[in-house]
Structure 1
């Protein structure tokens, strides 16, 4: 493999591994705020127990997320020197803003969140929990702003020429509110909130099935189910807005997402399928005129296809982009259906009677993570061959001094180190889940574990 491919694989691997953790931190942050708010509002110690339990798991995800995120900043310099020079002014501003407005807020309150139990007043601790949650949300803003600028550059001019050219900000707020940033931030936020909500649903569904911590798990499950339902439905809106933005600003990417080749013709929307790039056709289940309706609310409206662009300005892996995008959409629709069905069962008073449904929730913790990963794969692969859309090609952005063997060696090392970190994360997460919500030091009356028959009867 050449330097460009290896550099892309290495960065994709490291950022995909890192992105397991920030969405969980954001999603769990909201649930922690809700649990602690319910404790202050009702005085029910079970909500405090839930807040403490999920704070411990939050700390685990936050710690590994910070460690794995640092690596990528070094990769910008080692593997992507031309890119770093080109976007340094933009990325520098965004990352500085993240440090000032996000990371400082998050880390400043983190100590009180983790060690302030029984040392500060409950409302002070709640403020710290909200501060950490908001810090994680603000951090996502600036990272997505920087990435969105690469998708839809704005508020800049180019200084220098050739390999020495660089983008220099002329309007900071135009850079921040570039054409795709708001839609993409909202979409990323909701995906992160779903990742946290479905992890909580998964763990407490498991407890209910095993007849452990039944009373407290029912409370946690209901709150997380409300969060999952609201934000899974919200993804319909943010996803649609994002698709409209891609069609307006990155038509080649939109064409790749749906495998649309015709120069300018009405376009179908595929539920599932397979793209044959050589024959320029898609085989699968489709909604005739669906993409045209999505873009223009007219099934006969023409949509710009891949043939409208030179071959060297189209994504090379069209079928991969197509598959990643459609798996993401399929998971999103499944989570909507599952959440609504569970809410219907709750309304009928039968939510905790359906063991099969609880088993489904046990395994759904993986689905938001897969959807988040595949959504980013589709977005980044669909942007190719550009690293900064329409301005800097990926083939021109990597370091000229680094060799393929050097990147391959570091990639192998990263793989082993990250594998160890992942095994450690799963081990510690499993240990905390098996231990359960209650500490040995809890002095309040611990509710007796209910027999499994109580779960079946819904009592």
Structure 2
């Protein structure tokens, strides 16, 4: 493989791995803050135990997310320095904001929350939980604003061939970002919801009677959260789809394997055969007539452009061949392929929707089976909820792979109504380094990430199996009646 392919593989592996942890942190942090709020307001010991148990799992996941996330920005300089120079003036502000939020606000309030259980008042301690969880979402906002600019450049002018920011407000209120943020946050709640349903359902099935109320409450909180999250995902996903038909029509045509323009256009539920073939219409089956026109334009009779017509338009606007620049390696002077990988976009789009629906369906079924204080006794119940935990993680990954690979061959997609020239081919963005150098970092990082995965699975398994008893703080030692001193060292009894 050449440098471009290796660099894309490396960024894909590390980013997808990192994003397995991000949505769980975002969703679970808010749910844990909600659990603690219920405890502070009611004094019910059940909510205290829920906060301690799920908070411990949150901390493990957060720590791993921080470690794996640091590499993401380093890769811009390692393998994508041409890209970094092109977008640097725009990305500097949102990435700096994200860094300030993540490493100062999040870390500060998380530290206060961890070590403040017996040192802060209940309300002050609760405020730390909410500050941390809201800062986590704010951090995601700034990252998504930067990513959305790559999908739809706004708020810049072209100076000496490079985009220069004119308005940070335009970047932060980019229509693409405003649609992506609620969709991503809803996806994060879907992940956290399945996490609660899976682990809570497993413990409930084991009939740990002393903590039965904790597991039932956790499962039902997760079930209802997953249902609401899926509804929000449908609404925000529809908003995103309509924007993509305007801003990145090739991506959406590829998502439907729509080779030729149709009016009205049918929506393909599933295809049998090679969707990557030139005449991909021949393999499409189970179509819903005119539905794609509605999804694109809220009208059942409008035209939707196909891949073949869009290729002609792209060639007229952005050229038929790459520049004859030796820095482009094998692609120098070669024809530009404007079609994304049809199998990846077509199936990625459907996996995202299908797995999300399965996750919500498992949540609904778990709610039904545990109604009126019931406990399922069938062996398939714990298997269902535990396997269901994977579905929103996979749906999130499929969605991001579709989003990122669907914009190829661009790393910065042209804005149809924006400033001319503010776009960049992926082939032009890669660093001028050798394939051997990328192989070294790819193997090293993949090995390190594999080791971190083992650590996370071990820690998660340890605390999940330990249950409530494994996360509650030890009882404070009794004071000696005469001396008034404790018999054991209690220096760390305040810790989480």
Q: What is residue 180 of structure 1 aligned with on the other side?
A: 176
- Pairing of 1:365-376 with structure 2 (within 5 A): 365-376=389-400
Q: What is residue 251 of structure 1 aligned with on the other side?
A: 249
Q: What is residue 238 of structure 1 aligned with on the other side?
A: 236
Asked if 1:51 is matched to 2:39, the reply is: no
Deviation at 1:440, TM superposition (A): 6.2
Q: Distance in 2 between matches of 1:249 and 1:61?
A: 35
Provide Cα deviations, 1:381-428, integer angstroms capped at 9, x if missing partner.
10000000021000111112x111110121111111111100110001
Deviation at 1:41, TM superposition (A): 1.7
TM-score computed with the length of structure 2 as normaliser: 0.84
Q: What is residue 298 of structure 2 aligned with on the other side?
A: 297
- Pairing of 1:163-202 with structure 2 (within 5 A): 165-202=161-198
CA shift in 2, pair 1:319/1:343, >3 Å: same
Q: What is residue 421 of structure 1 aligned with on the other side?
A: 452
Q: What is residue 336 of structure 1 aligned with on the other side?
A: 360
Q: What is residue 387 of structure 1 aligned with on the other side?
A: 411
Q: What is residue 318 of structure 2 aligned with on the other side?
A: none
CA contact (8 A) 1:260 1:305 kept: yes
Deviation at 1:264, TM superposition (A): 4.6
Q: What is residue 492 of structure 2 aligned with on the other side?
A: none
Provide Cα deviations, 1:93-130, integer angstroms capped at 9, x if missing partner.
11111123454221120111111112211111111110
Q: Distance in 1 between matches of 2:207 and 2:474?
A: 20
Q: Distance in 2 between matches of 1:351 and 1:345?
A: 7
Q: What is residue 352 of structure 1 aligned with on the other side?
A: 375
Q: What is residue 111 of structure 1 aligned with on the other side?
A: 111
- Unpaired runs of 5+ in structure 2? 313-335, 415-422, 477-496
SS in 2 for 1:370: helix
Deviation at 1:305, TM superposition (A): 1.1
Q: Distance in 1 between matches of 2:103 and 2:187?
A: 20
Q: Distance in 2 between matches of 1:168 and 1:188?
A: 28
SS in 1 for 2:406: helix
CA contact (8 A) 2:157 2:164 kept: yes
CA shift in 2, pair 1:297/1:414, >3 Å: same
Provide Cα deviations, 1:227-246, integer angstroms capped at 9, x if missing partner.
11111111110111111111
Provide Cα deviations, 1:51-87, integer angstroms capped at 9, x if missing partner.
1111111111111111111112111011111100000
- Pairing of 1:20-419 with structure 2 (within 5 A): 20-160=20-160, 165-212=161-208, 213-274=211-272, 275-281=275-281, 282-310=283-311, 312=336, 314-345=338-369, 349=372, 352-353=375-376, 355=378, 356-390=380-414, 391-400=423-432, 402-419=433-450
CA shift in 2, pair 1:430/1:343, >3 Å: closer
* Mean CA deviation greater in 115-124 or 330-339: 330-339
Deviation at 1:344, TM superposition (A): 4.6
Q: Distance in 2 between matches of 1:351 and 1:376?
A: 38
User: Number of residue pairs matched?
Assistant: 438
Structure with more of its chain in helix, by fraction: 1
Q: Distance in 2 between matches of 1:359 and 1:392?
A: 47
- Over aligned residues, Cα RMSD in angstroms? 1.9
